[in-house]
Amino acid sequence: MQPAHPSVPSDGTPRLLLCDDSPVERLALGHYLRTSGFQVDEAGDGSTALQFLKNRNFDLLLLDLQMPGLSGFDVLNYVYEHRRALPVILLSGMPPDEIQEQIHGLNERELPPLFIKPVNPEQLVEMVELQLSGELPQS
């Protein structure tokens, strides 16, 4: 017998979606998050991230803003419209002024927590835990 939703871990381990077009970033962060006790699915582009978000349940989304094709900003707009309760942590190598310019195209003006690359994995795990615990206010 199949579980009601095969992507939801039966053991209660938080499931994260890590979306970054850099294979090196995904490999490093994915490994660190897994060794920290999280289940991690990975998407290498915005289109794949949208497919995951439409078909699976996640407890948190880690999202690179600058990707070819559908950008992280596009994915973030989808989340704002369809998965509002999903906590998001942004990752970016973009200069802050470019991020500020891109905010104007979003449905919401307030950004989730943002890590500028290179990301410190220990700090990222702390932020993930804060988001999942509900101790960090959602935008």
Residue 139 covered by a domain: no
Would you say residue 10 lies in a domain?
A: no
Strands 88-92 and 60-64: parallel
Digitized pLDDT (tens) for each residue of the chain, 139 residues in all: 333 333 445 578 999 999 999 999 999 999 999 999 999 999 999 999 999 999 999 999 999 999 989 999 999 999 999 999 999 999 999 998 888 888 877 777 678 999 999 999 999 999 999 999 987 655 4
Number of structural domains the chain divides into: 1
Q: Has residue 109 been placed in a domain?
A: yes
Report the DSSP beta bridge partners of residue 61.
Answer: 17, 88
Q: Which domain holds residue 48?
A: 15-133
Residue 44 near residue 25 (C-beta atoms within 8 A): no
Alpha helices in the chain (DSSP H): 23-35, 46-55, 72-82, 96-103, 121-133
Token pair belonging to 97: 């002024």
Q: Would residue 112 count as lying in a domain?
A: yes
CATH classification of the domain holding 115: 3.40.50.2300
Token reading at 84: 């509002």
Q: Residue 2 falls within a domain, yes or no? A: no
Q: Does residue 44 lie within any of the structural domains?
A: yes
What pTM was computed for the model?
0.88
Please give the Cα distance from 68 to 33 (Å, whole number).
Answer: 24
What is the signed CA dihedral for 6, 90, 88, 51, rounded to 10 degrees? -40
Residue with tokens 């195209």: 105
